[in-house]
Amino acid sequence: MTEPATAASGQIVAIGGMDLSPTGDLALLHYLRELTSKERPRACYVPTASSEHLDHIVSFYETAARLDLVASHLSLFHPPTADLRGYLLENDLIFVGGGNTKSLLALWREWGLDAILREAWARGIVLAGVSAGAICWFEQGITDSIPGPLTPLSCLSYLPGSMCPHYDGEAERRPSFHRMLAEGVIAPGYAAEDGVGLHFVGTRLERVVTSRPGKAAYRLDLAGDGAAREERMAAEALSDDMARMVRER
């Protein structure tokens, strides 16, 4: 009998920004599908951060159908069952949408999802997400959850260090990360441009992938003079063959 996976071999894909519509970043979603190694994976969308925005939920179902995923979503305002643990653990992929990370974390902790998702990770269920759904897995993230300047936020700590999404899509992201590092208010970590996914196996960064050729991720730490140091990591462009076939259906 195969031994169950542990967090040491569990997979998390943190995506800097993503168009989840049926004409969007299909190559990235197909990449997540393939990580499950299932012929017809069960995929659950968790839209907590967007206040469970209906348009986001509908987009996920439409896109999942084109990729032959068995889709569901988890509402914490209208829970599908009292057994949220069982509901989530029956999936092969759990995808977390973007929005307000601070509110997402508060609701997850109240409902016990922080522990349930850690168990899912240890069991080998692929965890993934975009923006808020990317930074939530790290020790810290750079967030716009609070009105005003970007701020550091303590997150779930499944993955070490910090994470910043939308590194090329929002002008204040890069200077804010550099400033926070220099001030010592955030740990060294990673940043991802829109369309770029950081694929971790356990807590080790395994691959950097993108559905948008030419995009990149970055590793950030402090130089000897106390200033932020940034290392560009070119992202591996994913094959668009599957995305093209899906679009042509």
Give the residue numbers annotated as catalytic, written as ranges: 131, 166
Specify the residue for token string 């770029």: 196
Q: Which residues contact 64 (CB under 8 A, 6 or more apart)?
A: 43, 45, 70, 71
Distances from the Cα of 36 to the Cα of 9, 41, 53, 82, 104, angstroms: 13, 7, 26, 26, 25
Please state the length of the chain: 249
User: Is residue 233 within a helix (H) or strand (E), and if so which, with residue range?
Assistant: strand 228-234
Count of beta carbons in the 10 Å neighbourhood of residue 13: 25
Give the integer Cα–Cα distance in Å for 246 and 62: 12
- The arrangement of strands across the sheet holding 236-237 comes to 70-73, 42-46, 93-96, 126-130, 11-15, 196-201, 204-210, 236-237
Which residues lie across from 196 on neighbouring strands? Answer: 210
Count of beta carbons in the 10 Å neighbourhood of residue 186: 25
